[in-house]
C-alpha cells in the first residue's frame, strides 16, 4: 500500500530487504506528522483563543512554524516568514509575551526540526525507492 501511494507498482517477487527498509523509513517520516498532530492542533486552538489568529485550518508545517516564531521571534527565516500573511506574522511576534511559560519551547523546536527533516528526506528516499524498484523490476524481467 505504501509503495502504491508513491506510485510504485511492485509485485511481491520484486520486494527486497532494501525496499522494505526504505519503505519503513518513509513510513517513519510520514509518522512524524501523525505523532505531532494532536499536540500541535491543541496548541493551535490555544493560539486562536489567546491571540485571535485563525490557525486551525493551517497545515501542520505552517502551524509548527508559527509556534516556532512565537517561541523564538527573532530566529526566523525569510522562507518561514513567507508562509504567513503580514498580519499573521506581526500578531505572532507581537503576542509572544502572552505565551511565556505557557508553551514548552524545546518540545516545539524538536517537533519543528523533526518535521523539517522529514520533509527534506522524503523526496530523497522516494527517489532511492524508485531506483530500487526499477532495479528489482529489471532483475525479475531478466530471469
Q: How many residues does the chain have?
A: 143
Burial code of 58-70, b = ≥16 C-beta within 10 A, e = fewer?
bebbbbbbbbbbb
Residue 137 domain boundaries: 2-142
Note the pTM of the prediction, 2 decimals: 0.83
Instruction: Specify the number of domains making up the chain.
Output: 1
CATH code of the domain covering residue 83: 1.10.287
Q: Could you give phi then psi for residue 4, rounded to 5 degrees?
A: -65, -35
pLDDT band at 5 (very low <50, low <70, confident <90, very high): confident
Mean pLDDT of 26-52: 94
Amino acid at each position: 500500500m505504501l509503495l502504491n501511494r508513491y506510485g510504485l507498482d511492485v509485485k511481491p517477487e520484486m520486494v527486497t530487504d532494501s525496499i522494505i527498509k526504505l519503505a519503513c523509513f518513509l513510513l517513519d517520516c510520514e509518522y512524524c506528522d501523525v505523532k505531532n498532530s494532536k499536540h500541535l492542533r491543541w496548541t493551535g486552538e490555544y493560539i486562536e483563543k489567546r491571540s485571535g489568529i485563525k490557525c486551525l485550518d493551517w497545515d501542520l508545517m505552517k502551524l509548527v512554524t508559527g509556534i516556532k516564531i512565537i517561541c523564538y521571534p527573532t530566529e526566523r527565516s525569510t522562507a518561514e516568514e513567507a508562509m504567513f500573511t503580514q498580519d499573521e506574522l506581526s500578531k505572532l511576534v507581537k503576542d509572544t509575551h502572552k505565551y511565556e511559560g505557557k508553551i514548552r519551547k524545546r518540545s516545539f523546536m524538536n517537533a519543528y526540526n523533526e518535521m523539517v527533516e522529514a520533509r527534506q528526506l522524503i523526496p530523497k528516499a522516494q527517489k532511492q525507492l524508485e531506483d530500487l524498484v526499477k532495479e528489482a523490476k529489471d532483475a525479475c524481467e531478466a530471469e
